Structure 1
Amino acid sequence: MTSLAVYPVLQLPAIQPGDPLARCLYDAIGASGLQLETGDVVAICQKVVSKSEGRVVNLQEVVPSERARRFAEAYGRDPRLVEVVLRESQRVVRMERGLIISETATGLVCANAGVDQSNAYKPGYVTLLPSDPDASAKRIGREIRALAGIPIGIVVTDTFGRPWREGLVDVAIGIAGLRPLLDFR
């Protein structure tokens, strides 16, 4: 690689559960005046991956546990949301000052186990992280390759807050079609 260029895909429609994300992305890339080339890498936010995979939860259908109710009451949070966070957590690292820092089933340590209310499917819903972000990336890459006829890399990203610090970072949570690390040993 001798250069890096970043291009926004502006024509992506609002993704709904069950939408064919690879087809939507491929069409949006073309509608944005871009053409995929061998070796390109497409970065996709986890939110659209989660929505397309149906990883959304209607909070009205959640029955909170006693633990979720106690934490929610102490910190003024929605007990149903806390329950979803606890369900998505493999391990709770810390619960403090209304924050839940937890480890997900895939080993990510993040706020609220990645459960997110912003830009969710509908009001009253939350999105969950993809259950296997690497598998999601692999599937999307395979489907785009079938459409474009060329191999590309896929990176599924999520925005992580930095616990008890200011600022956000975008993190690759799923990767396929490229080597994410270089070994200089």
Structure 2
Amino acid sequence: MHLAAHEIPQLISEYHALMRHFGKAQTRCDALVRAQAAEIARLQGEAMRLRAAVIVRDTALSWERSQRMDAVRVLMQNMALERLQWQLRDHRAPAETGAVALPSLSADAGADDLEASFEAADLVICQTGCLSHGAYWRVQDHCRRTGKTCVLVEQSTAASITGFAPPAQSESAIEWLAAPAA
């Protein structure tokens, strides 16, 4: 390819125009990359703030849930104590014997015995070690169907139910089954 002498200045001017456009394009690209880098930094900072806000929110919810469960536990223990006091007052034997009779279920209690015992109950306290496997499931099923609160206790001691000086192991030995929401 051979160029004529009169084409070289025109070619040089086109080259200069091309370089000016290339420089402008490069300047625009640099500005765009800087703007995107700033936007990425801003978004990363916002993501960090949002993660921190979620951690704070979840921690606050956890604390509130824990406090609510403590309040429910105290309420349930007070209700159990009140119910126990009612039963003691209503089922007292003659004063001369000093004996107290409380309704209870044996390990081989049938479905009819369970249903009859639960009809007047506001709260069911179930000592899990004293019930058969079938009775345990019938108790839970009845509580779910009737909407009654069921307290499952490994060891039925007055202290672990009423909350007076509970032994350290009784904290994990109590399972609260809340009444289903209506």
Q: Same fold (TM over 0.5)?
A: no
Q: Tell which structure's C-alpha radius of gyration is larger.
A: 2
In the superposition, the TM-score normalised over structure 1's length comes to 0.29
In the superposition, the TM-score normalised over structure 2's length comes to 0.29
Specify which structure has the higher proportion of helix.
2
Structure with greater contact order relative to length (CA < 8 Å, sep ≥ 6): 1
Specify which structure has the higher proportion of strand.
1
